[in-house]
Amino acid sequence: MYRYFKAAVTGNSPVNRFFKLLSIYFPGEIITPEPGQFYMLQTGHTYDPLLKRPFSVFSHECSNAKDSNESSVTSNELKTKDKDLSLSSESSLQFLYRVRGKGTLGLAQMKAGDSIQVIGPMGNGYPAPEGDFIAVAGGIGIASLLPFLEKHRNRAYLFYGAQSREELVMLEKAGNAARETFITTDDGSEGRKGLITDVVKEFLNNSEKGSDKLSVISDKLKDKDSSLDSSLITHHSSLPLYACGPAPMLKALAEVVKGRGVKCYASLEEHMACGVGACLGCVVKTHSGQKRVCKEGPVFDIGEIAW
């Protein structure tokens, strides 16, 4: 079965004192994940922790990818249901995570050689942008957005906020993939001190007014062209936004974009038990009824969410 497999842990190393990077390998065929999709990962080998936990795909590499139609393994069900899926074999998947509680603590203890049960890729992922776009990451939200930035290199104006400098994990990698990067931290240890959504608001307001100055670009990224091309300024305020981060950030962003007539996609988080749409544990209220974050999401039109 493509969406449920037992992989081998190949690495699980700290990125800094807050974050770790888990690498797993599976030789057989799996469904190629899209940025914004997630996997349910086993986090222990006993009944405590019991449930799998959701983690965004941070990176995926494989030896070869092909359409499900050309697959050597025949699964009629798969073919009829998802005609446009592509399959990959010999996949290496990476997950960037932060230790929060029991489950992530269990994950942090996994070692190379351990086996790990995996369900995924699940969820819808980010819709493809037509051109340039704005990405808004809060803390570990970068885990889900980074593969999206990398897939669409040099197209994103990235707004990245975290509590402190150390918590701006993968800043360089993200900065390299983005056109432009704007930073805030809660404690002011990097970029501007304050909330990233305030900077997004300023950016949108400024570009509406035709101004091109924003002084929150990270020092590390200053060597890149940091002044915004003024010919583009007017259309910045109409770029689509893609966001992943804690609920208060997304809620604030919903306020920022309200009434501007721009598309804004947000990847939501909820406690999950099954990850496949069966338990109804992960629902979010939208203007068109309850939606399951694991199935209809995790990416939603931010205007659809009934905060």
Ligand X SMILES: Cc1cc2nc3c(=O)[nH]c(=O)nc-3n(C[C@H](O)[C@H](O)[C@H](O)COP(=O)(O)OP(=O)(O)OC[C@H]3O[C@@H](n4cnc5c(N)ncnc54)[C@H](O)[C@@H]3O)c2cc1C
Q: Which positions touch other proteins (CB under 8 A)?
A: 1, 3-4, 42, 47-52, 77-78, 81, 102-103, 117, 119, 270-284, 290, 295
Distance CA 246, CA 243 (A): 10
Query: Quick check: 122 binds ligand FES (CB under 6 A)?
Result: no
Query: Quick check: 33 binds ligand X (CB under 6 A)?
Result: no
Q: Quick one: tokens of 254?
A: 């919903």
Nearer to ligand X, 103 or 138 (CB): 103
Shortest Å, Cβ 125 to ligand FES: 16
**Nearest position to ligand X, beta carbon:** 101
Distance of CA 184 to the CA centre of its chain: 18
Residue 11, strand partner residues: 23
Alpha helix locations (H) across the chain?
Answer: 76-81, 102-108, 142-151, 171-177, 196-209, 233-236, 247-257
DSSP 140: G
Query: Quick check: 56 binds ligand X (CB under 6 A)?
Result: yes
Are 275 and 52 spatial neighbours (Cβ–Cβ below 8 Å)? yes
Nearer to other proteins, 155 or 291 (CB): 291
Residues in 238-277 at the binding interface with ligand X, rule: CB under 6 A = 269-272
User: Which entry of other proteins, ligand FES, ligand X, none binds 52, CB below 5 to 8 A by partner kind?
Assistant: other proteins
Residue 294, strand partner residues: none
Question: Nearest-CA neighbor of 70 among 32, 105, 125?
Answer: 32
Cis preceding-peptide flag for 298 (omega within 30 of 0)? yes
User: Which entry of ligand X, other proteins, ligand FES, none binds 119, CB below 5 to 8 A by partner kind?
Assistant: other proteins
Are 82 and 68 spatial neighbours (Cβ–Cβ below 8 Å)? yes
Query: Quick check: 291 binds ligand FES (CB under 6 A)?
Result: no
Nearer to ligand X, 28 or 277 (CB): 277
Shortest Å, Cβ 169 to ligand FES: 26
* Interface ranges with ligand FES (CB under 6 A): 272-275, 277-282, 292, 294
